[in-house]
């Protein structure tokens, strides 16, 4: 479908290496194992992580930046970014990496933007902090990137507060804020689920450009199997905190695992005849420890 | 086509006043027969949900003609109209009262409409949507997203309406749960001969359930297409075709040809 795909694995060394990552949450009702033994490498490519709610896909992304909330604990045999050990990095190292070298687009713009600051100032701030630029330069950069994420009339939008913009626009502002420091790795957690399909495609094209032109590594976390398979180079399918299957995106239709097949089959088709869709039957065996895939 | 169930003629909806007024729906007209499923697709802000909200009476400032069954709708609604037409909302996390049990939620419409066999109807409704009687005294926070949407559907159906308005009923759900809810909707329509008017931004969901689909852009219905056109992609309007291409997945080549529609 997309011929401009750079070949996965042509780079010398992966940007991110993860081996046997687990995330556990300690709750009054016992330990919840959100992520169980996940391993993957990320080069200058587009890696998709697909799964349903509760599959651990978002927690995998958060663990990379050590953003797991207070009652959670992370363990891994290896979790490295560009040779830096993320698992044992101190606060200062993490501060240098977060937002600057690895940045993350959160799911919900309603809760992730500062409600008492104009959106333009927030985008410019992201640039000023990381690039130590002047206010004037930051403002110009912010305007430019707002235009890049297809916001019409950036001058007007610059002065608005988050409650004055629509969900889709808020999402694009977040994306602008995360792209402005020019990170090496971008973790995008459902970056386009609040957007209309055509805008969604345009935002993805922007991320695509960043990967191909600037050599960024992208982790796209999503529940949308179709979208991920048409956009990414490689896809991990997660269920119950484990990777069920690892596929080259173009081979998705050849997926073997019954969970992947079930997810593919239950998508509605453009048929108009309202047939009964096959229902995904969950096999308890999928939750058992599967080991490395 | 059977007897006409919903007729909408030159519906206009305005929000705000004077120079700041937003013309959310412009001269919308369509009809649908009894037992038919009709879909409306469009991007956010296109006015598709506003049509549904005007039909159920959640939006006041409208003009034009709306006929449901043999009732001509006015700004004042009576109880028989409520019994004829019910709505299922988008977000099952927001549409159920967090401090009321499933039983309270389902009993309220029955009490308002003076039904006597409340117990029996609640148990029937739960069974109808595929939930057991053990769910009757649970609170919404004890239910999953799919279970909540089933309760919202049960609440809409408990008065035995003829018309059900569906406002993005599956957009907050996982694909596997979405399939279950779509199957439930298909079965309920077959069992009760319901008429559906469904709104969604997801072409595949609407295309799965509906034979005829209206496409809206900036308050105007620009095209009405058949399921056949949806399969083949032979639409008359460029806007519709662009929407169709975009919903097929990421395709860089097609994207270069995209234009902004005013």
Mean pLDDT value of segment B224-239: 87
Strand B22-33: give its sheet, edge to edge.
B22-33, B4-15, B62-68, B71-72
Q: Could you give the number of structural domains in chain A? A: 2
CA dist., res. B216 & res. B28, Å (int): 9
What is the percent of chain B where pLDDT is above 90? 57
Instruction: Answer yes or no: are the C-beta atoms of A109 and A173 closer than 8 Å.
Output: yes
Q: Smallest Cβ distance to B208: which of A52, A199, A269?
A: A269
Task: Indicate whether A10 belongs to any domain.
Answer: no
Cα–chain center distance at A95: 19
- Residue where a domain terminates, one of A182, A216, A242: A182
Is A1 domain-assigned?
no
Residue A54 burial class via C-beta count within 10 angstroms: exposed 0-12, middle 13-18, buried 19 and up: middle
Residue A291, in any domain of the structure:
no
Predicted confidence (pLDDT) per residue in A157-171, tens digit: 999 999 888 777 888
Do A227 and A87 lie in one domain? The reply is: yes
A93 and A199 together in one domain: yes
- What is the number of CB-based contacts under 8 A between chain A and chain B? 123
Do residue A60 and residue A200 come from a single domain? yes
Residue with the two structure tokens 């398979």: A229
pLDDT for A32-81, tens place per residue?
999 999 999 999 999 999 988 889 999 999 999 999 988 899 999 999 99
Stretch B68-95: mean pLDDT: 89
> CA of B49 to nearest chain A CA: how many angstroms apart?
15
| Per-residue pLDDT reduced to its tens digit, A178-218 | 999 989 999 998 888 777 888 788 888 888 888 888 889 99
pLDDT of amino acid A17:
95
pLDDT interval class at B90 (50, 70, 90): confident
Cβ-Cβ contacts under 8 Å, B209 against chain A: 268, 274
Across chain A, mean pLDDT equals 87
Which pLDDT does position B22 carry in this prediction?
Answer: 85
Which residue in B93, B14, B42, B20 sits closest to B223, CA to CA? Answer: B42
CB B69 within 8 A of CB B162: yes
| pTM recorded for the entire structure | 0.85
pLDDT of residue A2: 45
Contact check, Cβ <8 Å, A277/B182: yes
Residue A5 falls within a domain, yes or no? no
Distance, in Å, from the CA atom of B164 to the CA atom of B156, rounded to the nearest integer, reads 7
More confident residue, A110 or A155: A155
For residue A277, what is the domain's CATH number?
A: 3.40.50.300
Q: Could you tell me if B96 and B152 are in contact, meaning their C-beta atoms sit under 8 angstroms apart?
A: yes
Out of A131, A152, A182, a domain closes at A182
Same domain for A171 and A277, yes or no, is no
Could you report the predicted ipTM of this complex, rounded to two decimals? 0.79
Q: Strand, coil or helix: what is B94? A: coil
Domains defined for chain B, CATH in brackets: 4-256 (3.40.50.300)
Chain A CB contacts of B211 under 8 Å are 272
Asked whether residue A163 falls in the same domain as residue A255, the answer is no
Q: Would you say residue A124 lies in a domain?
A: yes
Same domain, A196 and A275: yes
Which one has a higher pLDDT value, A277 or B156?
B156
> Per-residue confidence at A4, pLDDT binned at 50, 70, 90?
very low
CA–CA min distance A216, chain B (Å): 18
Looking at residue A150, its pLDDT comes to 79
Three-class SS of chain A: CCCCCCCCCCCCCCCEEEEEEEEEEEECCEEEEEEEEEEEEECCCEEEEECCCCCCHHHHHHHHCCCCCCCEEEECCEEEECCEECCCCCHHHHHHHECCCEEEECCCHHHHCCCCCCHHHHHHHHHHHHHCCCHHHHHHHHHHHHHHCCCCCHHHHHCCCHHHCCHHHHHHHHHHHHHCCCCCEEEEECCCCCCCHHHHHHHHHHHHHHHHHHCCEEEEEECCHHHHHHHCCEEEEEECCEEEEEEEHHHHHHCCCHHHHHHHHCCCCCCCCCCCCCCCCCCHHHHCCCCCC
Task: Tell me the residue range of the domain where A115 lies.
Answer: 110-182
Looking at the structure, tell me whether residues A245 and A190 fall in a common domain. Answer: yes
Mean pLDDT score, A245-260 = 89
Under the banding of pLDDT at 50, 70 and 90, the label for residue A8 is very low
Does A1 score more than 50 pLDDT?
A: no
Q: What is the mean pLDDT of chain B?
A: 90
User: What was the pLDDT predicted at B50?
Assistant: 93
pLDDT digits (tens, 9 = 90+) for B108-147: 999 999 999 999 999 999 998 989 889 999 999 999 888 9
Please tell me the distance from the alpha carbon of residue B135 to that of residue B143, in angstroms, as a whole number.
Answer: 9
Check pLDDT > 80 for residue A29: yes
Distance CA B178, CA A262 (A): 13
| Residue closest to A21 by CA, chosen among A55, A60, A62, A56 | A60
Cα–Cα distance measured from residue B151 to residue B143, given in angstroms and rounded to the nearest whole number: 9
For residues A240 and A276, state if they share a domain. yes
Q: Is residue A136 part of a domain?
A: yes
Report pLDDT digits (tens) over B178-202.
999 999 999 999 999 999 999 998 8
φ/ψ (deg, to 5) at A158:
-50, -35
Mutation site for A-interface testing, chosen from B94, B208, B256, B262 by largest number of A Cβ within 10 Å: B208
pLDDT (mean) for B171-181 = 87
Query: What chain A residue is nearest to B172 in terms of C-alpha separation?
Result: A193
* Domain final position from A135, A165, A182: A182
d(C-alpha A193, C-alpha A174), whole Å? 13
**Per-residue b or e along B206-229, where b marks 16 or more CB atoms closer than 10 Å to that residue's CB:** bbbbbbbbbbbbbbbbbbbbebeb
Kindly state whether residues A219 and A165 are assigned to the same domain: no
Does residue A173 share a domain with residue A94?
A: no
In this complex, do B252 and A267 lie within 8 Å of one another by their Cβ atoms? Answer: no
Nearest C-alpha of chain B: how many angstroms from A53?
Answer: 7
Cβ-Cβ contacts under 8 Å, A266 against chain B = 175-176, 178-179
Residues A227, B249 contacting (CB under 8 angstroms): yes
Is the domain of A85 the same as that of A144?
no
**Within this chain, do residues A175 and A188 fall inside the same structural domain, yes or no?**
no
The answer to whether A241 and A68 have CB atoms below 8 angstroms apart is no
In chain A, what residues touch B251 (CB-CB under 8 Å)? 1-2, 201, 230
A39, part of any domain:
yes
Q: Are B190 and B32 in contact (CB under 8 A)?
A: no
Give the whole-angstrom CA distance, residue A74 versus residue A119.
Answer: 33
CA angle A243, A259, B145 (to 5 degrees): 95
Please tell me the distance in Å from B76's CA to the nearest CA on chain A: 32
Contact criterion met (CB below 8 Å) for B202 and B233:
no
What's the CA gap between A222 and B175, in Å, rounded? 12
Residue A136 gets the label, from left (phi > 0), alpha (psi -120 to 50) or beta, of alpha
Identify the pLDDT of residue A280: 84
Does residue A282 have a pLDDT over 50? yes
- B141 Cβ contact list (under 8 Å, min separation 6): B98
């Amino acid at each position: 479908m997309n011929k401009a795909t750079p070949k996965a694995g042509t780079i010398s060394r992966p940007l991110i290496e993860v081996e046997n990552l687990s995330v556990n949450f300690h709750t009054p009702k016992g330990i919840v194992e959100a992520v169980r033994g996940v391993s993957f490498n990320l080069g200058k490519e587009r890696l998709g992580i697909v799964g349903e709610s509760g599959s651990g896909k978002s927690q995998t992304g958060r663990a990379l930046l050590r953003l797991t909330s207070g009652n959670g604990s992370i363990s891994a045999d290896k979790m490295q970014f560009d040779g830096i050990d993320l698992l044992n990095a101190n606060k200062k190292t993490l501060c240098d990496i977060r937002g600057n070298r690895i940045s993350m687009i959160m799911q919900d713009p309603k809760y992730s933007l500062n409600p008492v600051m104009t959106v333009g100032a927030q985008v410019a701030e992201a640039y000023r902090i990381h690039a130590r630029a002047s206010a004037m330069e930051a403002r110009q950069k912010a305007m430019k990137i707002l235009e890049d994420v297809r916001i019409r009339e950036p001058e007007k939008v610059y002065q608005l507060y988050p409650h004055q913009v629509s969900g889709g626009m808020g999402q694009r502002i977040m994306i602008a804020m995360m792209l402005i420091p020019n990170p090496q790795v971008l973790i995008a957690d459902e970056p386009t689920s609040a957007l209309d399909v055509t805008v969604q495609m345009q935002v993805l094209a922007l991320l695509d450009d960043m990967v191909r032109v600037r050599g960024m590594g992208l982790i796209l976390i999503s529940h949308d199997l179709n979208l991920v398979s048409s956009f990414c180079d490689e896809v991990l399918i997660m269920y119950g905190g484990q990777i069920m299957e690892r596929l080259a995106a173009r081979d998705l239709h050849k997926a073997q695992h019954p969970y992947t097949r079930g997810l593919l089959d239950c998508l509605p088709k453009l048929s108009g005849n309202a047939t009964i869709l096959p229902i995904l039957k969950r096999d308890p065996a999928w939750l058992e420890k599967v080991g490395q895939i | 086509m059977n007897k006409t169930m919903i007729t909408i003629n030159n519906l206009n909806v305005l929000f705000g006043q004077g120079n700041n007024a937003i013309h959310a729906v412009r001269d919308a007209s369509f009809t649908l027969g009894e037992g038919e499923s009709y879909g409306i697709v469009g991007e956010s802000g296109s006015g598709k949900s506003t049509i549904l909200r005007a039909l159920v009476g959640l939006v006041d400032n409208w003009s034009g003609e709306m006929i449901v069954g043999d009732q001509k709708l006015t700004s004042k609604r009576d109880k028989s109209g409520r019994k004829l037409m019910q709505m299922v909302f988008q977000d099952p996390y927001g549409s159920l009262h967090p401090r009321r049990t499933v039983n309270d939620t389902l009993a309220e419409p029955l009490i308002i409409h003076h039904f006597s066999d409340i117990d029996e109807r609640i148990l029937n409704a739960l069974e109808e949507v595929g939930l057991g009687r053990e769910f009757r005294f649970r609170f919404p926070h004890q239910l999953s997203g799919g279970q909540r949407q089933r309760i919202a559907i049960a609440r809409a159906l408990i008065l035995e309406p003829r018309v059900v308005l569906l406002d993005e009923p599956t957009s907050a759900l996982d694909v596997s749960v979405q399939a279950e809810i779509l199957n439930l909707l298909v079965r309920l329509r077959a069992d009760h001969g319901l008429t559906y008017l469904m709104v969604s931004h997801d072409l595949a969901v609407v295309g799965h359930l509906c034979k005829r689909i209206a496409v809206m852009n900036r308050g105007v219905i620009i095209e009405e297409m058949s399921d056949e056109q949806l399969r083949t992609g032979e639409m008359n309007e460029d806007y519709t075709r662009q929407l169709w291409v975009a919903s097929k997945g990421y395709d860089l080549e097609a994207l270069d040809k995209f234009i902004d529609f005013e």
